[in-house]
């Protein structure tokens, strides 16, 4: 019996209970093999994943990763092709960048995913140093009142942004870069603040670490227990940071997907909790 996402436990997201082991779809378009991407999505859901993270700008060639060739491949469209009609328990979180035309981007996400309303939309700050997100979050709250969005989150933020957003509308998740070798003290504080406020913390780059968009690079200087890969350790470490922390490791590989999902069953501090 393979380890499934069920072994990672559950946490609240968007008024539902999701497995703490989710899946990030940014890497799906790196490989031009569309069938492989669809198989990866099928396998993720088959292994119990019911929380996907995406964005309309996860597209190759030309998107965030800047890789690939050939016709455009949108991660959100691959999700639709693989999984629509969607399982009832599936939560798909997407994001829009604060510097973009927000209504237009929300409509693009609706179209690519083939839904009438988006489960979760994260307002992703273009510039984390921005003093305020209020204007943009107000606009998304308006789209939520129109029924285009069910729940709101924020991404690439500081604590004062969370305060600003919560004064406008409920926030169900915060998505920041965070990992064993990629963590600012202010993000650790924000992670704990999210737990106090009943908000899910959804770190990205938990496997890639300091490699960020370039992907995983070895050398966090951490001790890896025997029988566990460094990637698995990174995911287990992430899940160990709190019961409200959701993992969304990204991969375009079936083998890596299975390896990552198996990490949800590892329990710290059965081995070292890292530096």
Ligand X SMILES: NC(=O)c1ccc[n+]([C@@H]2O[C@H](COP(=O)([O-])OP(=O)(O)OC[C@H]3O[C@@H](n4cnc5c(N)ncnc54)[C@H](OP(=O)(O)O)[C@@H]3O)[C@@H](O)[C@H]2O)c1
Interaction pattern, residues 51-80, with ligand X; x per rule: CB under 6 A: --x---------------------------
Compute the residue count for the chain: 275
Q: Is 175 in the site for ligand X (CB under 6 A)?
A: yes
Question: Active site includes 58?
Answer: yes
Give burial (CB, 10 Å; 0-12/13-18/19+) of 145. exposed
Interaction pattern, residues 144-163, with ligand X; x per rule: CB under 6 A: -----------xx-------
Q: Which of 58, 74, 86, 178 is catalytic?
A: 58
Counting Cα atoms < 13 Å in the Cβ hemisphere of 111 gives: 8
Stretch that binds ligand X, among 98-106, 126-134, 138-146, 249-257 (CB under 6 A): 249-257
What DSSP line would sit under 206-217, residue for residue? TTTGGGGGG---
Q: What's 264's DSSP letter? A: G
Is the CB of 72 or the CB of 146 nearer to ligand X? 72
Check: CB of residue 148 under 8 Å from CB of residue 140: no
Check: CB of residue 20 under 8 Å from CB of residue 245: yes
Is the CB of 69 or the CB of 147 nearer to ligand X? 69
- Between CA 64 and CA 54 the distance in angstroms is 12
Q: How far is the CB of 147 from ligand X (least distance, A)?
A: 24
Say whether the peptide bond before residue 188 is cis (omega within 30 degrees of 0): no
Stretch that binds ligand X, among 35-43, 101-109, 161-169, 247-255 (CB under 6 A): 247-255
- Between CA 65 and CA 137 the distance in angstroms is 26
Stretch that binds ligand X, among 112-120, 237-245, 248-256, 267-275 (CB under 6 A): 248-256
Ranges of H-type helices in 74-225: 75-83, 102-113, 134-145, 159-166, 185-197
Is the CB of 144 or the CB of 175 nearer to ligand X? 175
Choice from 162, 194, 248, 262 touching ligand X (CB under 6 A): 248
Ranges of H-type helices in 13-151: 34-46, 75-83, 102-113, 134-145
Q: Is 236 in the site for ligand X (CB under 6 A)?
A: no
Q: Is 233 in the site for ligand X (CB under 6 A)?
A: no
Is the CB of 24 or the CB of 48 nearer to ligand X? 24
Per CB under 6 A, residues contacting ligand X are 24-27, 53, 95, 124, 155-156, 175, 204-208, 215-216, 231, 248-253, 256, 259-260
Return the active site residues: 58
């Amino acid at each position: 019996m393979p380890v499934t996402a069920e072994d990672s436990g559950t946490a609240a997201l968007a008024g539902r209970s999701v497995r703490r082991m989710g899946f990030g779809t940014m890497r799906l378009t790196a490989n031009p093999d569309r069938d492989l991407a669809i198989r990866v999505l099928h396998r993720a859901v088959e292994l119990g994943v019911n929380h996907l993270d995406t964005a309309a700008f996860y597209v190759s060639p030309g998107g965030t990763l800047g890789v690939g060739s050939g016709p455009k491949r949108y991660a959100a469209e691959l999700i639709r092709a693989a999984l629509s009609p969607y399982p009832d328990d599936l939560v798909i979180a997407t994001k829009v960048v604060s510097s973009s035309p927000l209504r237009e981007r929300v409509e693009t996400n609706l179209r690519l995913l083939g839904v009438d309303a988006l489960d979760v939309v994260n307002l992703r700050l273009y510039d984390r140093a921005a003093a305020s997100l209020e204007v943009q979050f107000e606009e998304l709250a308006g789209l939520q009142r129109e029924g285009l969005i069910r729940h709101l989150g924020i991404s690439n933020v500081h604590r004062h942004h969370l305060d600003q957003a919560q004064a406008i509308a409920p926030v169900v998740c915060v998505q920041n870069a965070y990992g064993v070798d990629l963590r600012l003290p202010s993000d650790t504080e924000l992670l704990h603040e999210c737990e106090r406020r009943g908000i899910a913390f959804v770190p990205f780059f938990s496997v890639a670490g300091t490699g960020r968009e370039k992907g995983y690079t070895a050398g966090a200087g951490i001790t890896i227990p025997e029988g566990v890969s460094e990637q698995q350790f990174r995911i287990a470490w992430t899940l160990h940071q709190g019961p409200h922390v959701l993992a969304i490791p990204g991969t375009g590989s079936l083998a890596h997907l299975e390896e990552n999902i198996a990490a949800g069953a590892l329990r710290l501090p059965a081995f070292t909790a890292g530096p």
